Structure 1
Amino acid sequence: TMVPGGDFAPHLVACSDAAKNSAQGCIGLVGHHDTVFPPGSFEGFTLEGDIARGPGVLDMKGGLTVVLYALRAVAERGLLSRLPLRLVIVSDEEIGSPDSTPLLQRSLRGASAALVFEAGRAADAIITARKGTGGIRTIIAGKAAHAGNHHQQGANAIWALARIVDRVQRLTDYGQGITVNAGTITGGEARNTVPAHAEASFDLRFVHLSDGEALVERFRAAAALAITDVAGTQVQFEGGVKRPPLERSDNNVALYREYASHARAAGLGYGEAPLMGGGSDASTTAAMGVPSIDGLGPRGKGFHTHGEFIEVPTLLARAEALTRMLVARAAAHHAAV
């Protein structure tokens, strides 16, 4: 089923016969078909030996290919109808899944597993934990004045914002996995004008959801305090926690071990990846209590760059690992019915 994506391309949801009426106990296969590249900036696909290059081959058209070939293999064995599967492919993951998050929640609430096919990591390590993400747009209103004749009458929005940047960056705590990053900053109209407006966008990362929620409150308090010495300025905030973390849990680890046994049989590495700093839709499924793992796509390098590539043999190995897992699940499901 093609689901309208609002301002984005359509999302796709497909269900096997055994999962059409309910997601309860199903296996969720999750991916996205959007990329980070503006139209025309990076086009074309090339294959040179075992290396495939092109926009999104790693993030994450390769992962979608893994799913496609595994489902074909399961269907050829006559097992697709008896296995409760739900495939969800979204079109807005690269910007935080603002439109598709409710769709993921509706489609996979109550699932027994969520397998997410973002690109594979070094040594084929499987992801069980990711940081959560947040974003805060901070807007300063000051008062414009001529910088030469009426400097004292102005309220410098850039100065206020600079104080905020210095203060909130200090909330970073590497030991706790918490970071604050001032990513963009704009303001002012001319060198000789006291600026009445300035704004910045900040990225937040955290390991636990409670840390993220607390970080947002600390950010706002620190920013409000930082501008108290810049008379005549005011601050407004937009945003907060955007994507929960994929927290390492017993359920995630158990699912990792299940998949790892099939990855090993397919000739892949099967270690557990360290905590990842970037977010994914695995965070959404895990936040619903669905056991979730990630990084099940092919191996490669060059995320979000024009040098993006995948190692083609790992497509086949990853498809084999997924096929093995689904066949085993089908056997267990059939025995339990």
Structure 2
Amino acid sequence: MSNDLMNLLVTDEVKTTLDWLDAQQVSMQETVINWSHINSGSRNLDGLSAMEDEIVSAFRCLDTEIELIQLEDTETVLDSGEVTQVANGRTIRIFKRPTANRRVLMTGHYDTVFPKNSAFQKTHWLDENTLNGPGVADMKGGILVMLHALQGFEKTAAAANVGWEVLLSPDEETGSLASAPLLADRAQAAHIGMTYEPALADGTLAGERKGSGNYTVRVQGKAAHAGREFFEGRNAVVLLAGIIGKLSALTGGREGLTVNPAVITGGVAPNIVPDLAMCRFNVRLKAPEDAPWFEGEVQKIIDTANTEDGFTVELFGGINRPPKALSDANLKLMDLIGACGKSLGLSIAYVPTGGCCEGNNLAAAGLPNVDTLGVRGGMIHSDEEFMIVESLSERAKLSFLILTAFAHGALDSVISAR
């Protein structure tokens, strides 16, 4: 850490704000418990609306402009094979000083993976520093980290140097299909990105991320009696089985590329030749150039299957999160975060991951970002999800210092490269 940066992170004003953030710890943990008890699964529009009200109310203390942006409907394929449109909630956009010379985009999501009828609806303490509950780590705790870091930052004179924008999406857990264009657009207006997915329990952050795509292949054949008219039928399950084998064989076709056939449906009874079968599958890919290769190989499989007499094979979906590589600007941002962590006595490490988040979208739009600045936690997307409670104030202090360093020009070389 340079002496200049160290000096600006230990001023009386900064120390006072860090003390204030420490004092918010109890209030933060009480709020995250209340928020966790609001079911805001991605398809629970009523729950998303209730969560939206809580967030908007909480952020009003920052004297900001707030915009609620209704997202477009998105296409999905039902288990019945029917293609339909599903409604999404609203993105919450909160912004201040949008014309400042230094601008940061802070993103997150307020949906969870737990549907309205989930059995996992309440929090409970695993020990005095570990809270189990839906969304406590992923990422209602992260939203509170963001909020309190901004509250602390706005108490300082340096805040006048930074324009900040918060985007909170209602569809991240379903792939950000509707919010992706908005993320890309707002990324163009910023110099750095800060996203509030949870860090690992030990505080490790994500570096490089694989890209991801979700697909459905639907095979339409012809039903027939399995005994009397077997040869009149066209067995969709059999054709799909061959397709699945070919899709799975694409794993390893590029370094780090994996294909996961995951959900299979088809048929109604053993004595009926099945006329419909579907498979939902996921791909993870390491490099941007792997995407066109994979898409081309999948299309060959689909085209070949469509030459079979009496069958119609269709493919839905696509690659919705490109891989996140680390640019020089991204590395500079990561170094700065490490320096800010060091001033708090935190050791900041980064690891590559196969997981995806909005950080992929921001990177694809050219915005250097770090995307695991939320609370420390783990076991997300399960009923064992937990948050390390002390990390609420800890991570708020870290983000406050990042904003302070940014305001004082620590990343001006990144800005000049944008």
- TM-score, shorter chain, exceeding 0.5: yes
Q: Which residue of 2 aligns with 1:71?
A: 150
CA distance in 2, matches of 1:222, 1:177: 21
Give the superposition deviation at 1:44: 2.5
Q: How does 1:1-337 map to 2 (within 5 A)?
A: 1=66, 2-6=68-72, 7-17=87-97, 19=98, 21=99, 25-41=102-118, 42-47=120-125, 48-173=127-252, 176-225=255-304, 231-273=309-351, 275-332=352-409
Query: Contact conserved, 2:195 with 2:369, CA < 8 A, in 1?
Result: yes
Paired letter, 1:319: A
User: What is the RMSD computed on CA atoms of the aligned residues?
Assistant: 2.2
CA distance in 2, matches of 1:183, 1:130: 21
Q: What TM-score comes out, normalization by structure 2 length?
A: 0.74
Query: Contact conserved, 1:206 with 1:212, CA < 8 A, in 2?
Result: yes
Give the superposition deviation at 1:138: 0.7
SS in 2 for 1:204: strand
Give the superposition deviation at 1:64: 1.0
Query: Contact conserved, 1:156 with 1:196, CA < 8 A, in 2?
Result: yes
Query: Contact conserved, 1:28 with 1:85, CA < 8 A, in 2?
Result: yes
Give the superposition deviation at 1:174: 8.1
Q: Deviations over 1:85-118 (max 9, x none)?
A: 1111111100011221122222221421111110
Give the superposition deviation at 1:83: 1.4
Query: Contact conserved, 2:153 with 2:400, CA < 8 A, in 1?
Result: yes
Query: Contact conserved, 1:110 with 1:290, CA < 8 A, in 2?
Result: no
Question: What is the aligned length?
Answer: 331
SS in 2 for 1:167: helix
Query: Contact conserved, 1:301 with 1:308, CA < 8 A, in 2?
Result: yes
Q: Deviations over 1:15-42 (max 9, x none)?
A: 122x2x47x7411111111101012422
CA distance in 1, matches of 2:293, 2:201: 33
- In structure 2, list runs of 5 or more residues that go unmatched: 1-65, 73-86, 414-418
CA distance in 1, matches of 2:371, 2:243: 36
Please say which of residues 96-105 and 39-48 is displaced more in the overlay. Answer: 39-48
Give the superposition deviation at 1:326: 0.9
CA distance in 1, matches of 2:113, 2:402: 31
Q: Deviations over 1:168-194 (max 9, x none)?
A: 101001871111111111111221111
SS in 2 for 1:332: coil
Higher relative contact order (CA 8 A, sep 6+): 1
Query: Contact conserved, 1:185 with 1:198, CA < 8 A, in 2?
Result: yes
CA distance in 1, matches of 2:89, 2:229: 51
CA distance in 1, matches of 2:388, 2:400: 19
Query: Contact conserved, 2:216 with 2:315, CA < 8 A, in 1?
Result: yes
CA distance in 2, matches of 1:310, 1:40: 23
- In structure 1, list runs of 5 or more residues that go unmatched: none
CA distance in 1, matches of 2:137, 2:184: 25
SS in 2 for 1:198: strand
Query: Contact conserved, 1:140 with 1:236, CA < 8 A, in 2?
Result: yes
CA distance in 2, matches of 1:11, 1:94: 13
Query: Contact conserved, 1:163 with 1:227, CA < 8 A, in 2?
Result: no
CA distance in 2, matches of 1:122, 1:298: 8
Paired letter, 1:80: A
Paired letter, 1:12: I
CA distance in 2, matches of 1:313, 1:175: 41
Moved over 6 A (4+): none
